[in-house]
Structure 1
Amino acid sequence: MNNYFVKLSIIVASSILLGFTFNVFLLPHEVLTGGVTGIAMIFGLLTPVNSGFWIIILNIPIIVLGWMKLGKEFIINSIISVAVTSVSMLYIPIVEVTGDALLSSVWGGVLTGVGIGLIIRFYSSTGGFDVVSLILIKKWDVPLGGMIFGLNSIVVLISGFFFGWELALYTMLSIYITGIVIDRIHTRHVKLNLMVVTSKGEEVRQAFLDNLVRGVTIIDGQGAYSREDKKVLYTVITRYELEVIRGVLQEIDPDAFVSIGQSMQVMGNFRRDD
């Protein structure tokens, strides 16, 4: 319960950060963020209706899609994030901190990336293209920031037609920086080679299969000095799953020898359901 409260607190704080960033850095210069939120910003600038309301309206069909593909907890967290961001945009005044559109674009991109990266890392999303991107990377396993940047290019084109191509280029810069920052925080696409040498091979094997969606290769080994029979378990995991592995090994065999290295590329079946 405490763990979920911490997670939810980070999601709420990050959502407030997004609302602040939109109203203080991006909207005063008509620089947009990406995806559905960017489209909501366009509607907010072109109509009397606040962008916060548009965020909720446009996210309804995508939230339904995410419920079917990504699970109930994820979507509940996402609804909370979207709601908090929307309310923040309603109550935080649109204030121009600096008259420099370029500076606002850079800082807006950085803070947006931090907010979205933390929200996604703690099993939530800001709705919109975040949900679509997360569904796609489950299939294609590509960097999330790059996927979001590609989808968000649509917003840049719309922005160019309505607000001029100079502002569209600022929007492109902001979205690009956001994608880079997201990939620094959301590191799920980073793969790690994991080798575990243990005298409790069967227990560790079962724990890996229970907690991961990875295949595991088991090799018979022997300690060169002790001559004790060992099991060598080899698999490839994501960086997020490393925390799961640490907990499993600490519980079952804290004396196991573990080697971890970053994998450049993975070919073949990475998931058990591939």
Structure 2
Amino acid sequence: MRNIVVIICASVMVAFAYNFLLIPHEILSGGLSGIAILLGIVTPLNTGVLNLLLNLPLLILGVMKLGKRFIGYTILSVAVLSISLYIIPVYQATQDPILASLFGGVLVGLGVGFIFRASGSSGGFDIVAMLLSRKRDFPLGVLISLMNGVVVAISGFVFSWDAALLTLVSIYATGKVVDTVHTSHIKLTLMIVTSQGEEMKKQLLANLYRGVTIMDAKGAYSGEGRQVLMTVITRYQLAEVRHLIKETDSRAFVNILQTTEVIGMFDRGSK
């Protein structure tokens, strides 16, 4: 219930940022939402309706390919965001486009970051990233940057290059805030110390599609035997892994390390 409330509130926050700060100044957001904003400005259709229509094919794909919990929360987020965009009136909260770009990006980043922490996503490119992160070591950061670069370029050609630069500021601010709220690196190394090593291994292998290394250990104070499981994941999997670990062993000790680089295979066959 807490996750549902967080996702609803965060999605409404994102909608307010769009309708009060970004859209009045023809500033786009990143991803499919940015394309929905663009089409909402240049066509008679409402941005909320467009956001839902653009996300619909990816949501259908996600239902078939992704976990029920993640895609269920994502559908909730997309639905609340789309409805909020439809209901909330477009209002120019500030006359300064730079302030609108910066604070709009920050509010969107806060909303998306909290949605990530609640084990969901705001749809769009996040679903694509989640699908790719389950299959191979794909350069997700590069892919998302290229997609957002297309949005910025479109903004420049359709509106003005001032609008494109403001869109770039907004996307940059959003990314920084999401990283702060959620996690700051695409790849993370997990060290899981648990007494339920075999069950934890089964759960990780069944749900992550990543290799897992197991080491035997002993508590320095208690002297009790433990297993240490090490694996590398993407940031898109962190919320899912947190839930999985808690369900398997609520007393497990988990150390999450920032990973600068991974050399060698990144999938299950590497370990």
Post-superposition shift, 1:212? 2.0
Name structure 2 gaps, 5 residues minimum.
206-210
Partner SS, residue 29 of structure 2: coil
Partner SS, residue 89 of structure 2: coil
Conserved 8 A contact 2:29-2:171 = yes
- Match of 1:189? 186
CA–CA distance in structure 2, aligned partners of residues 190 and 54 of structure 1: 32
Conserved 8 A contact 2:15-2:81 = yes
- Match of 1:108? 104
Which structure has the larger Rg? Answer: 1
Post-superposition shift, 1:73? 3.1
Write the letter of the residue equivalent to 2:191.
L
Change (3 A) 1:184 1:136: farther
Q: What do the CA deviations read for 1:8-34 (whole angstroms, capped 9, x no partner)? A: 111111110111000001001000112
CA–CA distance in structure 1, aligned partners of residues 129 and 137 of structure 2: 10
Name structure 1 gaps, 5 residues minimum.
none
Conserved 8 A contact 1:205-1:216 = no
Post-superposition shift, 1:58? 1.4
Alignment of structure 1 residues 15-164 onto 2, 5 Å: 15-138=11-134, 139-140=136-137, 147-164=143-160
Conserved 8 A contact 2:197-2:227 = no
Q: Give the alignment partner of residue 235 of structure 1, picking from 203, 211, 230.
A: 230
Change (3 A) 1:14 1:273: farther
Partner SS, residue 212 of structure 1: helix
Alignment of structure 1 residues 151-230 onto 2, 5 Å: 151-187=147-183, 189-192=186-189, 194=191, 196=193, 203-213=195-205, 214-219=211-216, 230=225
Conserved 8 A contact 2:129-2:140 = no
CA–CA distance in structure 1, aligned partners of residues 26 and 45 of structure 2: 16
CA–CA distance in structure 1, aligned partners of residues 221 and 25 of structure 2: 68
Change (3 A) 1:96 1:250: closer
Conserved 8 A contact 1:193-1:263 = no
Q: How many residues are paired up?
A: 258
Write the letter of the residue equivalent to 2:137.
W
Change (3 A) 1:92 1:136: same
Report the identity percentage: 38
Partner SS, residue 120 of structure 1: helix
Partner SS, residue 155 of structure 1: helix
CA–CA distance in structure 2, aligned partners of residues 225 and 166 of structure 1: 61
Conserved 8 A contact 2:197-2:226 = no
Partner SS, residue 167 of structure 2: helix
Partner SS, residue 100 of structure 2: helix
Write the letter of the residue equivalent to 1:51.
T
CA–CA distance in structure 2, aligned partners of residues 152 and 216 of structure 1: 36
RMSD: 3.2
Conserved 8 A contact 2:188-2:259 = yes
TM-score (structure 2 length as normaliser): 0.80
Change (3 A) 1:94 1:268: same
Conserved 8 A contact 1:215-1:271 = no
Q: What do the CA deviations read for 1:70-112 (whole angstroms, capped 9, x no partner)? A: 2333323222211111111122111111111111101111111
Post-superposition shift, 1:229? 8.5
Partner SS, residue 53 of structure 1: helix
TM-score (structure 1 length as normaliser): 0.79
